[in-house]
Structures are given as structure tokens and as C-alpha cells.
Structure 1
Amino acid sequence: MTAFILVSDTYTGGWIWREVAARLRESGAEAYPTTLTGMGDRRRPAGPETDLETHIRDLVRLIDDVEAAEVVLVGHGYGIHPVLGAADRRPERIARIVHLDAGLPRDGDPALTLLPDQALRDRLLRAERPAPAEDDWRIPPPAPDEWQHWGSIAGVPADALERLARLAAPQPRATLTQPLRLTGAVSAMPTTGVLCTANGSSIAMVEALVGMGDPRLRALIDPRVSFFELDTGHWPMLSAPDELAEVLRRAAAGEGHRLAATVGERPRHLGPFLIIDVPESPRERVGRVDLYPPDADRPRPAVVFVHGGPVPAEVRPTPRDWPTYVGYGRYVAGLGAVGVTVDHRLHDLADYGRAAEDVAEAVELVRADPRVDGERVALWFFSGGGLLSADWLAAPPPWLRCVAATYPVLAPLPNWGLGDSRFRPAVAVRTAGRLPIVVTRVGLERAEIAVTVEEFLAAAEDSGADVEVVDVPLGRHGFEAIDHTEQARHAVDRAVRSVLGHLRS
């Protein structure tokens, strides 16, 4: 007999699992939808002292009361924090931990570090009071029209969304600010990640992050770790209860996708640049900026290549030494322009502001170089770096002759918590005027990214923006290092020559 202990995200309680619990019980399993202290059960009211440890103790007591031989703990969003804390205290009872659209908190992490709503995260970090002083130990739930800031509500029926808003309870502040304390016992437990693609997560994205070599993610290659995807938003217990119940049953049985079979010895992003006959050219390093100047006797236009991310700070080599960016820099230098790469500091989703400053500083350095025609500069953004194009699209300076973007993210993904930030190219493009924009679109793009490109292109068409789309129908995200086809080579050459054409016109 398997018992599922179900722990939901902030502001919610056991009621949210009603349909999933019913499906699990119909299959012969036990199901325990949990309402933690202060989250809606009047028999367990919260007070100023209610913190993460309170919620951990709630789960430990429940685990001790369950008689089933196998206990599977399911943590949704914030719920993974008390789940991990309880599993750490009762490791001998836990058969598997399921991260349901949840992060990977470690010892010492408070839950607020994983909150998708960055505005609330910043407010808590600054210790501002979101409620009257006499009640400042609780955080009110979102307004009915604000739930999307806490994760995609894709697929949630209107009546379920109304119930979510009506039954939501204030979240005790200390449950989000108290650090999680772990002894390390949970690291040996079988684990399953259930990724909700409409909320911006996917197995492909996890594979890409692991492939970058981030040592903090190496544990995900362990054969005891499995993954599933659900094609829905952050609330699958409301939007896809049947599918979620089936996935939980399969996770308990040890099924799921293993990364060990797909993550190779050499990270994919370190594959050779697809255009193998790029001529060698000198590279000059100035701080975080590398320049590839052509052999020329007068100032030349420049193309600044802005890598994607977030790229963890520990990853080596850093992006400007990746074959793709070295290849682009040399390629444009061979065609008579100054190629530029920059190691901006987009190490985390909260770093977009700092990364934007790094890019702006790099551009000013490049424009001041006597070998550069400072009135003819193009900016070329890749992958998650695509969001950094927003400032330049919103108010293009006269010297910016072109913006390019390759397999870009052009609107924040739902679980990135950047919905109200300035980094929204799909909005900024409406004021880009006649600035030429070259978008390289790959046909085998991850669905969560492809939708942002289509949103951008629709906004560009509505506003009359000057957009050229270079399609790579069989190309994948990062195709320059992994898809060495004639189609891919043609696409890179066409995009490069189009950008240089705008610089020379």
C-alpha cells in the first residue's frame, strides 16, 4: 500500500487536492491532502510564531500516524520546503519525494528565494509590511486577478479559479523567511520532478541546465531521479487532476524520464561552431568584453553578441569562450565588422537588471574604441538573453542600426516572476519604430519558448515593426553547436549577412 501525502503551494490547503485524492484512492492508494497550520483549518489557527518549522512538524506528525509501508511526499511550489524538512526528520519512512512544479531548495534556503513573484520577494527582503502593523506576520493572498503572478493558471476552469481565490488563506510570513534546515538525509532519497510546461518548465530545459555543468545540478543525473511533464499550468490539481493522479502513481512506481540517458560527457553547448571554415582572427580581452577586430584601416561597424542564461556563476568555461560565441565573433570579423562578446552576469533570474547594466557598459566601451564606427552598432541576443533586448527596442538610440535575436526568449516565462518588469520584448517592440529586427526561429523549439516568439511576432506585426524571420525548420535550441546541417549553416549565414547589411546601409 502506498500513501500519498499532498502538500500544496502558498495560500492553499488540502481542499485543493480533492479531485486528485479521489483518483488516487480509486486506484487503491491512500491519499492525505494536507492543510498546514494557518492555511484554512480553523482547528489549527496560525499566530505570529507560525513558521516553516511549524509546517514541518505538522507533516512529521502526519507521517507518524500513517501506517502504509510506502509514503510518497508530494510538495507543490512552497510545499516542497516543509516536505523536505519532514523527510529529513523521518527518512526511514519516505519511499519517494515528488517536486510538483517546485524548485530545489537546499539547506539554509528560505522559501522566499524560490517565490515566482519577485516584487513580493523584494518586499519581504526589504522587510516592508504588506499589511497593517497589528497583522504584519501574515501576507494576504493575491487578489482574484493576480494569481497568474504566482504561476500560470493555464487550463484552470473558471469555477476552480474562483474557488482558489475564495478559499485562499493568508500565508504566515515566517513560513517564507525562515531558512530550511536539512541534515543531508534527503539527498539519498528517490526523487521525481513533475514539470508543468505551460508554467515555463520542461525536461528539455532541465537537460540544458544540467548540460551547462552546474555542479549544483549534477545530482539530477542520479538514476534514482526521474521526471515527468504535464502540459498545463502551475495548478495541475485543478487543471488536470486525472493526468496528475496518473503521473503520481507512475512516480511512486519508479517510472519517469532519466537524465543520465540524455546528458552526455561533453555539454551540448560546447560543441563546435557549425561553420567550420571561420577564419582565425585575433581576440582582445578587456574586462568582461572580448573584441574580434577585422584587418581594416578605418573604423568598422560592430556586432555585440549577448549570450543567454541564466548561466550559473560557477560554470566554466564562461559563455564568451563557448565555441558558438567565438564562432560568431570571428565570422563577422572575417566579413569586415568588429565582433564583440560579453560575459554579462545573468547568473539567476533576479540578475536581469545587473546583466542589462553589463551589456550597456560593454556597448559604451565598444563604441568608444577607435576601431569601431560608434554610429553603426548592432546588438544580437540569444536564448534567455533575449529579454535584455527590451530596453533597446523600447527606445532605440540612433546609432543602433539593428537588433537580432536567435532562438530567443521574448517574454518572461510564467514561473520567472518577471511579468511586471521592464524585460518584456513582446511589449517593447511596439515602440521600436522602423528599427530593423532579425529573428532566427528554430522549428524544434521548446514549446514554452516558442510561444514567446509568436507573441513577439504578433505584437511586431500589429505595430508595423520591421522584422525579418530566418527559419531553421529542423533546428533545435542552440543549433549552432548541435545541428551541423546545410540548412543550419545557411540560416546563420543569412542572419549574419542581413545584420551586416543593415549596418552598412
Structure 2
Amino acid sequence: MSIFLLVHGAWHSGSCWQRVVPLLESAGHQVHAPSLTGYGDKANLLGSDVGLDTHVADVIELIKDKDLTNVVLVGHSYAGLVISSAANQIPDRIAHLVYLDAMVPEDGETAVDVQPMSQHLIDLAVSSGSGWRIPPLPEQPAPFGLFGVTDPADIAWLRTMLSDQPVRCLQQPAHLDNPAVHAIPRTHIHCVGATPAGITRRAVPAIQPNGSAAQVWELPTGHDCMITMPAELSELLLKLGRWQLVVNEPADGRDRTPVIGKAHRLHTPGHDTSHRRTGRIGRPG
């Protein structure tokens, strides 16, 4: 059994994982998908003082309170900053970091540094009149939709879980000054179906901080893949879960290095099935 902790991104709540959680649980894994402070069942706590540090504390508190270890920590979008900073403080409890169409910061970087368009979002807070509340992004014409969601029923459901985002979340820096955090394996999952103008993605270095080859997977869908492609996303996460079972087995002298194969793009009929990367990848990095 692996332990998955799924961390939602800006504006969302833990409810966005509702289609993924049962798929992981039915495979025998333990899954946690909390709402961060200011969202979902914690929406009443939304305030100008809520920032990246608040959300990092949320994740660390849950892990410590439930005494979780060997956690596969998944961060979507903005939560790439959250999981990075959380792992920096408790690296001994984290088995794997998964950046799901997420911001991937260096030490001391803010969301604005990683994704320059974030400054535009901060400017929206000023225009909203509050000075600190960033309203959810508006729906766009297909194929972009609302966070990449285009089905009308799914959009209506998504709207029920959205809250404003405090500007401090985008202004506070991530901290990765603990050398131990760089030893944690990483996997990057990119949603490549539709990317709105102004959104940029940093190239993933060929060699990850722990010295292993980069593992980059792609899903042919929009940003909120947990809503639009939950089965395909779960398939990728389950691969990591199976790898985690291998590396956690008692040593018996056998080679435990898993063979994952090539980084690949999961596909559905009608989508390009070509590999984006062709290098052989062993242990995820």
C-alpha cells in the first residue's frame, strides 16, 4: 500500500479530486485529499493573512497528525510551491514528489518568478477592490474552458468548489534550502491539451536534483486533468504506487530498481500517440 496526499491548486478545494480518490483507494492505497485553508470546508478561514506558508503548514500538520510516512505528495498547479516547501521541512516523510501541471520553484522563488502571469492575477486583486482577493479565472471559449474543463456539467460542478485566492499565496517565496529535499524522486505530469495564451512552462532539466533522469509524463487534456481525465491520471499515479511498493520491500539481495520504460503520453482515440521523450528511464526522478 502506498500513501497518496493530493494537494489542490489555487481557487480549488479538495473536492476536485473526487473522481481520482476512489480509483486509487480501490487499488488498495491510502489517499488524503484535504482542502487547504480558505477553500472547501475551510472557506470560512479565507483572509488576507492566508499565504503560501499557511498552506505549507496545512500539509505538514496533516502528515504529522496522521503520522504518515513514505508519502507520495502530489501538487497541482500552484500547489507545486506548497509540496516543495512542505517536503523541505519534512523530507524524511516524503517518498516522491509529483508536480501535476504544477509550478516547480527553485529556492526563494515566488509564484510570480515561476509563472510571470501571476503578477497579472495580483493586479486583478487590486481591480477587485479588496486588494488581496483574486477572483477565479473566467471561463474561456473552447478548448480552454474553465481551467481546461469544457463539459457544461463539469464546469457547473467545478464552479461549486471555487473560492478567491489571497495574493500572499503568490507573493511568498518557496523554501528549498534543505539538502535532503533534493534527494526525493520527482515526477512531472504535464497537461498538454490546451494552454491559454500567456501561460508558460519551464523545461524540466534532463537530470533531476537527486541525479536521476527526469521523468515527464503527458496527458492530452486541459489543466484540471483530475476532472477531465481522472482514470488516465490515476493510471499514472498507480504506476508510482507500484514503484513505491517495490522500493519499500525488505531487502533480500535482489535488484529493486524498477523498469518504468519510456516517458510517454497517455492517449485516447484521436490523440497523437507519439512519445515526447525517448530516453530510457529507470527509477523515477
CA distance in 2, matches of 1:226, 1:33: 24
Q: Does 1:101 align with 2:80?
A: no
Alpha-carbon shift at residue 101 of structure 1 (Å): 1.1
Higher strand share: 1
Q: Is the 8 A contact 1:225 1:258 kept in 2?
A: no
Q: Is the 8 A contact 1:228 1:257 kept in 2?
A: no
**CA distances 1:302-331 after superposition (whole Å, capped 9, x unpaired):** xxxxxxxxxxxxxxxxxxxxxxxxxxxxxx
CA distance in 1, matches of 2:187, 2:170: 23
Alpha-carbon shift at residue 44 of structure 1 (Å): 5.6
- 1:198 maps to amino acid: G
Q: Does 1:237 align with 2:233?
A: no
Identity of matched residues, %: 30
CA distance in 2, matches of 1:128, 1:14: 23
Shift in alpha-carbon separation, 1:146–1:54, aligned structure 2, 3 A: farther
Q: Is the 8 A contact 1:6 1:31 kept in 2?
A: yes
1:453 is matched with none
Q: Is the 8 A contact 1:96 1:252 kept in 2?
A: no
Which gives a bigger RCO, structure 1 or 2 (Cα 8 Å, sep 6+)?
2
CA distance in 2, matches of 1:44, 1:29: 31
2:268 is matched with none
2:216 is matched with 227
**What SS class does the counterpart of residue 55 from structure 2 fall into?**
helix
The number of aligned residues is 247
Q: Is the 8 A contact 2:99 2:187 kept in 1?
A: yes
CA distance in 2, matches of 1:14, 1:23: 15
2:128 is matched with 131
- 2:73 maps to amino acid: L
Alpha-carbon shift at residue 114 of structure 1 (Å): 3.6
Q: Is the 8 A contact 1:199 1:233 kept in 2?
A: yes
TM-score (norm 1): 0.44
Decide which of 149, 156, 161 is 1:167's aligned counterpart: 161
1:65 is matched with 65
2:89 is matched with 89
Runs of 4+ residues deviating >4 angstroms: 255-259
Mark the structure with the bigger radius of gyration: 1
CA distance in 2, matches of 1:142, 1:222: 37
Alpha-carbon shift at residue 54 of structure 1 (Å): 0.4
1:179 is matched with 173
Decide which of 148, 152, 158 is 2:148's aligned counterpart: 152
Listed as ranges, the matches of 1:490-505 within 5 Å are none
1:15 is matched with 15
CA distance in 2, matches of 1:7, 1:163: 19
Shift in alpha-carbon separation, 1:86–1:209, aligned structure 2, 3 A: closer
Alpha-carbon shift at residue 150 of structure 1 (Å): 7.4
1:111 is matched with 111
Shift in alpha-carbon separation, 1:139–1:168, aligned structure 2, 3 A: same
Q: Is the 8 A contact 2:183 2:210 kept in 1?
A: no
Alpha-carbon shift at residue 157 of structure 1 (Å): 2.9
CA distance in 2, matches of 1:91, 1:45: 28
Alpha-carbon shift at residue 58 of structure 1 (Å): 0.2
1:367 is matched with none
CA distance in 1, matches of 2:131, 2:124: 10
CA distance in 1, matches of 2:187, 2:14: 21
Q: Is the 8 A contact 2:96 2:185 kept in 1?
A: yes
Alpha-carbon shift at residue 59 of structure 1 (Å): 0.3
Alpha-carbon shift at residue 151 of structure 1 (Å): 4.8
CA distance in 2, matches of 1:113, 1:35: 25
Shift in alpha-carbon separation, 1:158–1:70, aligned structure 2, 3 A: same
Shift in alpha-carbon separation, 1:220–1:103, aligned structure 2, 3 A: farther
RMSD of aligned Cα (Å)? 3.3
1:250 is matched with 239
CA distance in 1, matches of 2:99, 2:56: 16
CA distance in 2, matches of 1:79, 1:233: 17
- 1:129 maps to amino acid: V
CA distance in 2, matches of 1:193, 1:172: 26
- 2:221 maps to amino acid: T
